[in-house]
Amino acid sequence: MKIENNQLLPQYLKFKNEYLKKVEEVLDSGWYVLGNEVKCFEEEFAEYNQSKYCVGVASGLDALILAFEALHLNPGDEVIAPANTYIASIMGFTRNGLVPKFVEPDQYYNLDPLKIEAAIGPKTKAICVVHLYGQIANMPEIMKIARKYNLKVVEDCAQSHGASINGKKCGTWGDVGCFSFYPTKNLGGFGDGGAIITDNKDIAEEVRMMRNYGSKKTYYFEKVGYNSRLDELQAGLLRVKLKHLDELTAERRKDALRYLTEIKNPKIKLPEMQFGELGHVFHLFVVYIEDRDNFMKYCNQKGIELKIHYPQPPHLSTAYEYLGYHVNDFPITEKMADHIVSLPLYNGMETEKLEYVINVFNQY
C-alpha cells in the first residue's frame, strides 16, 4: 500500500460544489482584491476566535512581520522565541530588526515556560509564542511571565487554528495572533493567505493600513507600507472552509486519537496532550524515535511516507548564521530535530490507510 504523508485533494472534493459556487460568485462580482469577501471573512474569523478584529494579509509570514511592526519595538530589542519552531516564526520579527532569544521546548514541543525567565534581559520586549504542530502552548503560564516583565506577546497560530484552553482560543491570549492559510494548514486556502487577530484597535488599524501601501484613504499615504492583501477568491474560499473547520478538526482529532490509543510500541514516543483534546488540533502528528534512520527506511519499504518537521532548527540555519550559534547551544531542540517524524495525517484519510500505518508501526 502507498500511504502519502499528506493529501489536499480529498478535502477539496468533500466540499467541491460549495467551492465552485463561491468561485463563480466571486468572479461574477467583478471585484477581486479587498472587497466584500475579505470583509466578511475578517468578521467571521474574528467571531470564530472571539476576538474584536481580524485583518487579512497575503501570508502567515506577512502576518508576523506586520504584527511585530505594529508593536513599535526598537531595532536591537530582544524577543523570546522557541528554539524549536518553523523558521518563519523567527523571520517575522528579525525582519523588523529584532533579535531572538531562543528558549528550549518542553515535552509538548512548545516554548517551555519554566525556561523563559532565565532568557529575559534588559532589552527583552516581547515573546513570540508558537503553537507548534497544532497544540496550544502553555498560555496561562506564559502570560503570567509576560505581565510580570511587561512584555508584548505575539502568537504564531499558523498551525493551530481553533486550538483552545478552557474555551479561549489561541491568538487571543497575547496582543496579537498570526495565522497562515497556506493550503496545507488546518484552515488552508487554495493559494497563499494569512491574517492577524487582535483586540487592540491600534494594532488592527496599523496592519490594515500597512497591508495596503500604508494608505488609509485612497491615494493618500501615511507610511511606507507593503502590498500584502488577501484576495477575494481566497477570502471567499476560506469562508466556505471556515464553516466546516470544526468538523474538519474533529476528523483530524479522531484519527490522531486512534494513533494515540492504538500505536503500542515502546520504541515510538507518542505526542502528549497538555490541555486535553481541545488544546490540540493535530496539524501534525509528530513522534519521537531513537533510531530514526532505520525506522524511516523500514516505513519507506512498507510504502509509508514520513516527513520531518523540521530537520534543522532556525539557530543552525545558514539564514541565521549571523547570530553566531553553534551545534549544542540548544541540545533539546537539536535532539528533537534529529529524532522526530511526522506520520501521515490529513482530512479524508482512508480508514484502511490509518489502520495499515498503525499495524506497520506496531510490528516495528
Listed residue (212, 199, 203) closest to 35, CA to CA: 212
Q: Are 330 and 112 in contact (CB under 8 A)?
A: no
Determine, following the binding rule CB under 6 A, whether residue 60 of this chain makes contact with ligand PLP. yes
Name which position in 56, 188, 194, 279 contacts ligand PLP (CB under 6 A): 194
Catalytic residue, candidates 152, 169, 185, 241: 185
| 335 CB neighbour count, 10 Å cutoff | 12
Name which position in 127, 130, 153, 248 contacts ligand PLP (CB under 6 A): 130
Looking up cell 483534546, which residue turns up? 277
User: Residue 268 in 3-state DSSP?
Assistant: strand
In the complex with ligand PLP, the residue whose CB is nearer, 51 or 85, is 85
Determine, following the binding rule CB under 6 A, whether residue 110 of this chain makes contact with ligand PLP. no
Listed residue (278, 245, 279, 277) closest to 258, CA to CA: 277
In the complex with ligand PLP, the residue whose CB is nearer, 85 or 96, is 85
Name which position in 69, 104, 156, 206 contacts ligand PLP (CB under 6 A): 156
Determine, following the binding rule CB under 6 A, whether residue 59 of this chain makes contact with ligand PLP. yes
Determine, following the binding rule CB under 6 A, whether residue 88 of this chain makes contact with ligand PLP. yes
Name which position in 12, 86, 133, 320 contacts ligand PLP (CB under 6 A): 86
- In the complex, minimum distance from the CB of residue 308 to ligand PLP, in angstroms, rounded to a whole number: 14
In the complex with ligand PLP, the residue whose CB is nearer, 27 or 319, is 319
- In the complex, minimum distance from the CB of residue 82 to ligand PLP, in angstroms, rounded to a whole number: 9
In the complex with ligand PLP, the residue whose CB is nearer, 60 or 313, is 60
CA 147 – CA 195 distance, rounded (Å): 25
Listed residue (298, 266, 346, 344) closest to 5, CA to CA: 344
CB-neighbour burial class of residue 89 (10 A; exposed 0-12, middle 13-18, buried 19+): buried
Burial 341-361 (b: 16+ CB within 10 A, else e): bbbbbbbebeeebbebbbebb
- In the complex, minimum distance from the CB of residue 321 to ligand PLP, in angstroms, rounded to a whole number: 21
- In the complex, minimum distance from the CB of residue 59 to ligand PLP, in angstroms, rounded to a whole number: 4
CA 189 – CA 195 distance, rounded (Å): 12
Determine, following the binding rule CB under 6 A, whether residue 180 of this chain makes contact with ligand PLP. yes
Name which position in 51, 84, 89, 249 contacts ligand PLP (CB under 6 A): 89
276: Cβ–Cβ under 8 A, 6 or more apart, which residues? none
In the complex with ligand PLP, the residue whose CB is nearer, 62 or 251, is 62
Determine, following the binding rule CB under 6 A, whether residue 56 of this chain makes contact with ligand PLP. no
60: Cβ–Cβ under 8 A, 6 or more apart, which residues? 88, 156, 158, 178, 179, 180, 181, 182, 185, 194
DSSP state of 213: T
- In the complex, minimum distance from the CB of residue 10 to ligand PLP, in angstroms, rounded to a whole number: 21
Determine, following the binding rule CB under 6 A, whether residue 187 of this chain makes contact with ligand PLP. no
CA 364 – CA 170 distance, rounded (Å): 36
In the complex with ligand PLP, the residue whose CB is nearer, 60 or 177, is 60
Active site residue 216: no
Active-site positions read: 185
Would you tell me which residues interact with ligand PLP (CB under 6 A)?
59-61, 85-86, 88-89, 130, 156, 158-159, 180, 182, 192, 194
